[in-house]
Each structure stands twice: as structure tokens, then as C-alpha cells.
Amino acid sequence: MPMLTVGDKFPEYKLKASVGTEKGKEFTTISTKDNAGKWLVFYAYPKDFTFICPTEIVEFGKKGGDFADRDAVVLGGSTDNEHSHLAWRVSHPDLKDVKTPLVYITPAFAMQLGILHPQAGAAIRVTYIVDPDGIIRWVNANDLSVGRNVDEVIRALDALQSDELCPCNWRPGQETLGAA
């Protein structure tokens, strides 16, 4: 299946997630209905226990308040299961305190999104911004060797929420080109 893109409906989901390292509170299940009426930033990374992926997870974690201020929920994950995510959180010093959930992107869900890398057998490095109606409004996909820019995700979210025509390199507070 081709990768879902701008204008497509983001699929319904019910995903297991690692949410922390506190005994008895390590896991939860997150579904579409849990985030109804909110913007969703959904990012996939290739694999746990790699080198680029934790830099992205940490940055999304650091910017968690910025996303919350924009009424956006951040979910990130890979095709590794929630137990692998927990083991990685416990063993990686930078991931121990990250508050954002790491979801298990099941192979079936990865195929629905069209993000399963055919050679690697893992999710490609992709970010979706989904509006409160469940419509994909922004997509960014990177080569497996290139980390994403979380500040650009926030800038794109700001532009989408402005309901304005936003020119190249636009930032909040700058002039737009009028109503979208």
C-alpha cells in the first residue's frame, strides 16, 4: 500500500505503548478515541537501540510543552513492541525521563500507513500532523540515515493552525498571505 499523504484519513488506532519506567505503570493502550478533537503529531522511527532515533525521541520529549500548548498530542514509535521500548528506556540514560509515549506500531498498522520499509522490515522515518477531524495535513519522510527537525514540525503545526496562507520560512508573528 502506498504511504498515506496529505488529505488522507489517518487510520483508527489502538496501540500498546511504553509510557515510563515506574514499576506497574510502564504500559498503556492508546486509541483514537483517547485523542479525539485534538491535533495529532505521529512519528515513526526505524528501530529501538539505534543511534539517530533517541535524539529524535529526546527532542520531541523536550518540546512536549510546546505541542501541548498547541492542543497537540505527540505519539512516537517503531515496529518494535512495547517491551522493547521499555527495555530501551531503562537502558538508555537519555530516554529514562522522556514523558511522551513510545507506541508499538504493529506491522498491520505500519502497512495501513504505508510506512513499512521493504528492505529494512521496519518503519521508515516519517512524521504526520493530523487535524482534529482525523485528516492528514502534513507529512515528512526522511531517509533512515537522517534525523528529523522537531522545530520544523512545530512550525508546520503553527502554520496549519493559523488558517492562513503561510509563505516559505514563515514563523508565528510574521505576515501571512491572507486567509486560506
Nearest 5°: the CA angle 165, 170, 174 is: 90
The type of residue at 122 is A
CA 165 to chain centre: 24
Burial (CB < 10 A; 0-12, 13-18, 19+), residue 164, is: middle
**Which listed residue (15, 41, 53, 86) is catalytic?**
53
Pairing between strand 72-78 and 102-104? parallel
* 168 flagged as catalytic: no
Q: Which residues are catalytic?
A: 53
